[in-house]
Every structure is written in structure tokens, then in C-alpha cells.
Structure 1
Amino acid sequence: MNDAVSDDAVVAETTTITGAGGDRIEAYTARPLGSAPRGGVVVIHHMPGYDRSTKEMTRRFAAEGYNAVCPNLYSREAPGASPDDASATARALGGVPDERLVGDVAGAAAYLRGLPNANGRVGVIGHCSGGRQSFLAACSLDLQAAVDCYGAFVTDRVPEGFPLSVGPIGHLAKDLSCPLLGLFGAEDKYPSPEATAELAAMLTEHGKAHSFHTFEDAGHGFFAVDRPSYRPQAAVAGWELIDGFFRDNLATGS
């Protein structure tokens, strides 16, 4: 009998990690089987919540060879609630406070670095509100890579009527701890091409490594396969950039 582990064999499960303030919060984790050293990826879910598509993304990173974890940022407000109900509750409260987000991502990174096969390198990725939070985490924590997928309100203010109570964080660019990959749509309004150009200028001013890509004929949410906003060409190209970026920055010996 052959006991060898397949290269793409993974295990995925719901677990509990320690988040901000020592709170125990729900998280979804996926990791490759086998003992080879692995980098880690913290997946920050979008405002619609800790949902099926975000969990699928977490499993995708495991299949690519990383230990991955997605903390449920709404664990405190809506424990056990459906993604839609939890998101509605969070929106009514103005979203996740920045300070708490940083603490939850710090806990997720500590979880990844504590795994037996961890190589100590951790990256973070987020879409939409999670893109902004990915940038925030990378400016607040010791990380090795960060991906911002169309994260809005980094340099500009939240318009009146939006269900978010956060402010601009572009001034944190000077504190960026790792290379940043930014993926945006030319037809997006939040963030607009002007806003992403402003952030790129801030990063350049402070000598921070970054690579921004803006896709034509794509708007907000172009990665979302279950939405009308999905743009296959931009999404495929974006995933190729993400895979190469994490491979360069999270692999053992990189």
C-alpha cells in the first residue's frame, strides 16, 4: 500500500483562534497534508462576511501549498449567524473597528506561525473592505506579503450613507512592513483609479515596495464568480499575479 501524500491533499475545518483582546473567535482553516515547511496566508473576508466564496478561497491557498486561515471578523456581533445576517449586523454597527481588525489578524498570523510545519512567513489578502484591511494589517504588523484587491477608502473618505465608520489610512503607508500587490478595476469608483494612484504615490514617496495593476473593462468585484461584476480575463490574470507574488515572498528560503 502506498502511504505517500498527494501534492494537492488538504484538510479544512472550522477552528477557534485567539483574536484581539484575547477573545476566542471562530476561524476557517485549510492546510496541505505533509510536513514540508509552508508559508501562511491570512484571508480577510469581505463585508458580505465569512461566506462560502471566502472559504473556497482559503482552500485554494491550501491547494497551492500554503497554510491558510480566515478569521470570522463577525464572531462577536453575530456568533453562529448566517453570513447574510452577520453582515447585516456588522453593517448596522459601521463595520469592524480598525484596532480590533489588526488584533484579529495578528491572532491569525500567530496561529499560522504556531503550526508545526510553519516557515515563519505570513501574508495577508483581502477583497473590497478586506482589501483596505489587508493594507491596514500590513502597516500595523510584521508580515511578509500583502494583497489589496480593490480595497476602498484607503486614501479617501467614506461617502455619506455607506455602512462603514472608518477613516482614511493612507498616512500609514510609511509603516508598510512588506511588499504590497494591488489589483484594481479601471471602472471602479471605490476605489477609483485616482485613489489608487494617490496611494501608489504615497508608497513611492516612502520607498515602499509595491506593484499595482489596474484592469480595463473591470469594476469592483471582478474576482467574484457568482456576481454580474465577474470579469474572467481580469480574474485569471489577477490570480496569476497573486500566485506569483506569494510564491516569491512566502516560500521557504525566499
Structure 2
Amino acid sequence: MAKLTRRKFIAVSGLTAGFAIAVQPISAKTITTDPQGLIAGEVKIPVADGTIPAFRAMPDSGENFPVILVIQEIFGVHAYIQDVCCRLAKLGYVAIAPEMFYRQGDVSKLSDIAEIRKVVSKVPDAQVMSDLDATVAWAANSAKGNSDRLGITGFCWGGRITWLYAAHNPQVKAGVAWYGKLVGEASELTPKHPIDIAKALQVPVLGLYGGKDTGIPLDTVEQMREQLKGCNANAEIVVYPDAPHAFHADYRPSYRQKEAKDGWNRLKAWFKQNGV
């Protein structure tokens, strides 16, 4: 497994205030959550070798909130991911999206998908797991979060991470993975993929996938289903036959309102039934 660098790094910028440059133009169907009743904005998470920025949203009154980690797509913690946090905060959660690529580069300022992928390819899974552990600790210590009621959800790149973190941290009560890659080649930075941890999974994870996702072949989804039969977790995979990749991303042409709404309702029910 790749080791985390102990080199201190210095913050050069925070989170983007809008949408990532690479996803312009923005769809007219974009959902914007009213922040009234919420505390929402950028925070700094102390991690192993410095701090990373994160977007945090939570109710503006109360305490002991269940915690949900929100894991970004390859475009970073831009407006869409921030709004997902606000939607979850409206449900009574403290939702936190740490910027997972912070050390490697600011993808929100890149317009070329190939350049974005170069940055993302340099992010070690070990770094991600460590940063998420630190985020959970911060939520409990600094955001009135109850880490005994911990959930995780992620989209695309973050969908893969959702499966892996659920295997990494048994404290997680439930996860919801949106169209995350399941199968891949092992490397120093990415030694395991979701299919490799499926049989050992102890945490209930709901996977939401599109039947017309050209990047995640259905045969890999079926392979994952088969592997999950041997685990002790109440894991489940739902496939929407006509949905493409990123069907929840309301700011993109791939958005499918019917499937996105159904998936969101399933997410809410999944977290509730599993104690998040």
C-alpha cells in the first residue's frame, strides 16, 4: 500500500465557489437548495500532513447530528457536491465533503478531462482513507457530529471510494455508492477495487448503477453482485436499465430526473434503516 508523505503542504486555494470549468455549460435542471436553516460553507480538516479544505453543511440548531461523508466525482468539491451536502443537512445530518485531490491539484480550474484524469490518477487510496478518517474525527470534535451514526455516499470516482471506505472503517453504519467503478487493475496507488473487498464487506452498502453506463459494463456489476452474496453485510445493487453514467448529476446532460429521484429516496431509506 502506498505510504502517505509526511511533507507538510500549504493551502494555496480553497474550494471553488461555482461549478468546475470542465462541466460547462450548466444544465437548466440544476437543483439549488435553500440554505435557510443551515450552517454551510468551507472548513479546514486537520489531516496527517497539514489541512485540507472541505464543504460542511449542517442544521443551524441542535447537536449530536448523524454524520454523512460525501465523496466527490473527478471534478472536485464544486457546486453540485456542495448542494448534495446541503440536501443532506436539510434532512438533519452534518454532511462533509473533503477535497480529496487537494495535494495533487485543483481540478475545478481545469477544462480538459484528460488533464483532470492525470491529477486524479495520482491520488493514493491510502491518502483518501486517512483523510476520511480525519474528517470523521473532525465531525465529532468540531461539528456536533455523532460518529456512532456514520454514513458515506459518493458519485462516480466517489462511488468507488464509498465501497472501499465501508470496508476500511467498520464504524460506518451504511454507504450508498452512485455508479462507482467496481473492477480495475491493481497498482501501488490503488491496490484494491470494490470487487476485491466484496466478500469481506461487513457494512451495508447500496449500489446505484445505470444500465446504459458506457464506463461501467453491466457484466462488472453482475460480478460484484455475485461476490456480495458471500459477505456478511446487507449489501444491495440496483440497476436502472435506461440510465447512463452520472444520472444523478443534475447539472449535466446525463441527468435523469426519475432515476435520480428514486435513487435519492432509496438513499434516505437506506440510511434510516441502517441507523444513520
What is the TM-score normalised by the length of structure 2?
A: 0.78
Instruction: Give runs of aligned pairs for residues 155-234 of structure 1, distance below 5 A.
Output: 155-157=183-185, 166=190, 168-169=192-193, 170-234=195-259
Instruction: Give the CA deviation at 1:115.
Output: 4.3
Alpha-carbon distance in 2 for matches of 1:95, 1:196: 25
Conserved in 2, the CA contact under 8 Å of 1:144 and 1:177? no
Does structure 2 retain, via aligned residues, the 8 Å contact 1:150–1:190? no
1:130: which partner in 2?
Answer: 158
Aligned to 1:148: 177
Question: Partner of 1:144: helix, strand, or coil?
Answer: strand
Task: Say which of 23, 38, 43 aligns to 1:15.
Answer: 43
Residue 5 of structure 1: aligned partner: none
Partner SS state of residue 220, structure 2: helix
State yes or no: 1:118 paired with 2:151.
Answer: no
The 3 A distance-change label for structure 1 pair 88 and 192 is closer
Do the aligned partners of 1:112 and 1:118 also contact (CA within 8 Å) in 2? yes
Structure 1 residues 116 and 155: alpha-carbon distance in aligned structure 2, compared to 1, 3 A threshold: closer
AA partner of residue 160 (structure 2)? R
Per the alignment, residue 133 of structure 2 pairs with: 106
Q: Is the 8 A contact 1:140 1:176 kept in 2?
A: no
Q: Which ranges of structure 1 fall in alignment gaps of 5 or more residues?
A: 1-7, 159-164
* In 2, Cα distance between equivalents of 1:174 and 1:110: 28
- Measured in 2, the distance between the counterparts of 1:236 and 1:36 equals 28
- Verify the 8 A CA contact 2:107 2:116 in the aligned structure 1: no
1:47-98 Cα distance to aligned partner (Å, 9 max, x none) = 01111101011111101110111101122233xx461339876522414211
After superposition, give the CA deviation of every residue in 1:103-129 in whole Å (9 maximum; x if it has no partner): 111111112222464332111111101
Select between 90-99 and 178-187 the one with higher mean Cα deviation: 90-99
- What is the rounded CA distance, in whole Å, between the counterparts of 1:193 and 1:50 in structure 2? 28
Query: Contact conserved, 2:64 with 2:145, CA < 8 A, in 1?
Result: yes
Aligned equivalents of 2:116, 2:275: Cα separation in 1: 32
TM-score, normalised with respect to structure 1: 0.84
Structure 1 residue 201, shift from structure 2 partner: 1.3
Compared CA separation, residues 49 and 156, structure 1 to 2 (3 A): same
Moved over 4 A (4+): 86-90
**How much is the aligned-residue C-alpha RMSD, in angstroms?**
2.2
For residues 274 and 231 of structure 2, what CA distance do their matches in structure 1 show?
20
Q: Distance in 1 between matches of 2:142 and 2:228?
A: 32
Query: What is the distance in 1 between the residues matched to 2:97 and 2:248?
Result: 18
- Against the structure 1 CA distance between its residues 27 and 155, is the aligned structure 2 distance closer, same or farther, given a 3 Å change threshold? same
Determine the C-alpha separation between the residues in 1 that align with 2:60 and 2:109.
Answer: 32
Partners of 1:53 and 1:121 in 2: CA distance: 24
| Matches of 2:192 and 2:215, distance apart in 1 | 13
Correspondence for 1:56:
83
Q: Is the 8 A contact 2:71 2:154 kept in 1?
A: yes
- Determine the C-alpha separation between the residues in 2 that align with 1:221 and 1:13: 25
- Whole-Å separation in 1 of the counterparts to 2:235 and 2:143: 31
Task: Pick closer, same or farther for the CA change 1:84–1:166 going to 2, 3 Å.
Answer: farther
Matches of 2:49 and 2:201, distance apart in 1: 25
% identical aligned pairs: 26
2:217 & 2:141 partners in 1: Cα distance?
A: 38
Three-state SS of the structure 1 residue aligned to 2:264 is: helix
